[in-house]
Chains A and B, each alone.
Chain A
Amino acid sequence: MDSFVKMENFATVAKYSSLFAQGLLVTVLLSIFTVMIGFCIALVMALMRLSDIRPFRFLGIGPDGYQRESGALAVISRFNPVSFIATAYVEVLRSTPVIVQLFIIYYGVFGIFDLPNFTMFGFIKFPRFFPGVVALGMNSGAYLCEIIRSGIQSIDGGQTEAARSLGMSKVQNLRYIVLPQALKNILPAIANEFVVIIKESAITYTIGVQDIMSAVNAVRGAAFVITEPLLVATGIYFCLCFPTSKLIAYFERRMSHGDKR
């Protein structure tokens, strides 16, 4: 009877170990850049969503000098275009598949203008790697935005009142009071999102980024084995994701010195 996994096939996979090593590096780089881009997008989007920019505010003042409570003018006066853009961005990116976004970015956006055609480390093709990072970064930016927004909103309003009453500006309040506390609250959710990014980066093999998944595919094409390279890939992904979540759990513990008696 054929067994599910054959030991000799692992020997075959071992011949392609350099492909897996390259794939590992690509996946790590993809994830790091994705996290950086995603985090920047997320912070900006979260602040946009929480902004209070209402260009038509004056329309909300009724003839009696009071704020209108209902009617079309009241609705228009509450309209915040900045927040609207950020909300639309988040909702669109969360409600469409990553692979669709990836293909739109790769074939659509970067199909129009040429990216510099060079390779990094001798095997990472920039014209494929860059669109992958952009697409993943934009996608995770939408999710991280919601995480950061909820984190900021979880901080008691009294904290902001105390900071402002001491003369701190809005920016100082955000920088020294709100964000440090929010970051601590959202670390578990961020850990989750980082792990998702590492795993989701596998999808970029569909546009020819040579990550771990692409190494699996190469072995399958060359040596006609599939289960064993997949198991190797499983092991590598686990060894990336598990320590990542543990590392963030460590930071979480370190930041929690304000909660212990």
Chain B
Amino acid sequence: MATSGSLICVKDLKKHYKGGAIKALDGVTVDINKGDVMVVIGPSGSGKSTFLRSLNLLEEPTGGSILFDGEDITKKRYKNADGKTVKLDVDALRQKMGMVFQHFNLFPHMTILENMTLAPIKVKKMPKAEAEKKALALLDRVGLKDRADAYPIQLSGGQKQRVAIVRALAMEPEVMLFDEPTSALDPEMVGEVLDVMKELAKEGMTMVCVTHEMGFAREVGNRVLFMADGQLVEEGTPEQIFGNPQSPRLKDFLAKVL
């Protein structure tokens, strides 16, 4: 049910390729409320990442709708409050959604501080001194203040991902999207990244997280989505999903990963 309290309402979202022969997303309907920590799990190829990337339009859906703050972002043109047809400002939309990638995607030619201040300065037109002050405060929160002048290559995977998270936070997004944030990390570095994410969840940040970390899903998530074959198969609290799975697909999946 679409309620007015939802931050993002996804309705019948579809992403089809090759004339409909390949259905990466096949009718996903879900509401994301403010403060939700939604964890998306499922076997590989189930459309989890496509779903996440559709939310900030890195993937263009071929059908359905996504309402963000009540505005349909899948329409390139829409009528605004005055009844005028205006073009959807994708850049403005993406500022409200921070995204963290599996492979960090830090900018290798810039220092950590420059990585974090570029978008606030160029996109939000924040004064440089203010942007740097904010960036350093954020870096301090994840224990990397002393690495501000280092280049990404000088950091470990876990450090890079922590930087990537605070780089997205520097834009003060309303929701954070995580696309398998720990999948490319060495096992001993997974903890430090998950800790940052837990911290974030505690502060009430709305989060959508595609992950294979079942422990994280159980501990931090308040809602868990299980996807398979481009469809939302089961949704519920972590207790329901992990403790009392209903569908055979989910039971089968949990038997393999737990």
Instruction: Please give the residue numbers on chain A whose beta carbons come within 8 Å of chain B beta carbons, in ascending order.
Output: 62, 64, 66-69, 156, 158-159, 161-169, 172, 176-177, 180-181, 184, 255, 257-261
Contact = CB atoms under 8 A, between A and B. Distances in A.
Interface in B64-110: 91-92, 94-95, 97-99, 101, 103, 105-110
Contacts of A68: 19
Given A181-B109, A258-B108, A64 B153 contact: no
Contacts of B110: 258
B168 A166 contact: yes
- Interface range for B: 35 or more
B123 A166 contact: yes
Given A158-B105, A258-B152, A165 B16 contact: no
A172 B94 CA distance: 14
Interface string B16-53: 10111000000000000000000000000000000000
Interface in B170-194: 171
Contacts of A156: 105
Given A164-B94, A168-B122, A261 B105 contact: no
Contacts, number: 86
A254 to B, nearest CB: 12
Contacts of B16: 66
Contact of B109 (A64, A158, A168, A180): A180
B109 A165 contact: no
Given A257-B151, A258-B152, A261-B154, A167 B109 contact: no
Nearest to B114: A176
Given A164-B94, A166-B171, A176 B122 contact: yes
Contacts of B171: 166-167
B153 A167 contact: no
Contacts of A64: 19-20
B26 to A, nearest CB: 14
B58 interface: yes
B118 interface: yes
A155 B192 CA distance: 29
- The majority secondary structure among interface residues of chain B is mixed
A260 B153 CA distance: 7
B252 to A, nearest CB: 31
B107 A162 contact: yes
B56 interface: yes
B91 A165 contact: no
Contacts of A163: 107, 119
Given A161-B105, A259-B108, A166 B167 contact: yes
A187 to B, nearest CB: 13
Given A69-B19, A176-B118, A181-B109, A165 B103 contact: no
Given A69-B18, A261-B154, A165 B56 contact: yes
A257 B150 CA distance: 10
Contact of B19 (A67, A159, A169): A67
B167 to A, nearest CB: 7
7 contacts: A166-B118, A168-B122, A181-B107, A258-B109, A258-B151, A259-B108, A260-B153
A260 B56 CA distance: 33
B105 A159 contact: yes
A66 B91 CA distance: 27
A161 B98 CA distance: 12
A259 B118 contact: no
A168 B236 CA distance: 35
Nearest to B94: A167
Q: Which of A68, A159, A165 has the most CB of B within 10 A?
A: A165
A176 B115 CA distance: 11
Given A64-B20, A172-B122, A260-B153, 13 more contacts: A68-B19, A156-B105, A158-B103, A159-B105, A159-B107, A161-B101, A164-B91, A165-B56, A165-B99, A165-B168, A166-B95, A166-B118, A166-B123
